[in-house]
Amino acid sequence: MEHNILSSQQLLEHWQGHRRLTRRVIEAFPEDQLFTFSVGGMRPFAELAVEMLLMGVPGIKGVLTGKWKQLVEDNQTQKKEPPRTKDALLQRWDEATAEMDALWPQIPAQRFQETDVAFEMYEGQVYWFILYWIDNEIHHRGQGYVYLRALGIEPPPFWER
């Protein structure tokens, strides 16, 4: 690579900033609507939040070890036992936050430019997967903003992290 512009620690902080905002979006939903409300036949926000959880800690574990098979299987199990209350979802969210903070510094800097196949499915460079997981969260959270507005609820400000 010719020039380097961003540190590993800055990328983690960027991600965790987005995750703090997503947490506020989860909190903004009324309990029942979190698990049921939808527009245009799309998934309720709780399902989207669970998808984010299946990319965060498992994604970083895969980046660290390069071993994805068990992570794919574990995610399939997790999907069958999603959190069923807002409190349970927020608790899972906070556990993931702490685990991500603990695991991330173990990623060697050169790893971000290596090629791998994330979750045995997405081939690309590691920095690309990680940006993809962050972008996927922003994308689905944008969907959550529309759900909140459609419910007459003011979403948290996008720029606040």
Shortest distance, position 153 Cβ to a copy of itself, whole Å: 9
CB closer to a copy of itself, 14 vs 61 = 14
Per-residue contact flags (x/-) with a copy of itself for residues 84 to 123, judged by CB under 8 A: -------------------------x--xx--------x-
Going through 24-158 in order, the beta strands assigned E by DSSP cover 115-118, 122-125
19 lies in the site for a copy of itself, by CB under 8 A: no
Measured between alpha carbons, how far is 150 from 122 in angstroms, rounded to an integer? 34
16 lies in the site for a copy of itself, by CB under 8 A: no
Cα dihedral 63→140→96→8 (10° resolution): 40
For 50-71, the three-class secondary structure string (H helix, E strand, C coil) is: HHHHHHHHHHHHHHHHCCCHHH
CB closer to a copy of itself, 80 vs 157 = 157
80 lies in the site for a copy of itself, by CB under 8 A: no
Shortest distance, position 73 Cβ to a copy of itself, whole Å: 22
Which segments are annotated as binding site for a divalent metal cation? Answer: 140
159 lies in the site for a copy of itself, by CB under 8 A: yes
Provide the 8-state DSSP code for 37: -
6 lies in the site for a copy of itself, by CB under 8 A: yes
Residue 152, number of CB atoms within 10 A of its CB:
6
Measured between alpha carbons, how far is 39 from 131 in angstroms, rounded to an integer? 27
Shortest distance, position 94 Cβ to a copy of itself, whole Å: 22
Buried b (16+ CB within 10 A) or exposed e, 108-137: eeebbeeebebbeeeeeebbebbebbbeeb
The binding site for a copy of itself (CB under 8 A) comprises 1-11, 14, 18, 39-42, 109, 112-113, 122, 127-128, 131-132, 135-136, 138-143, 145-152, 158-159
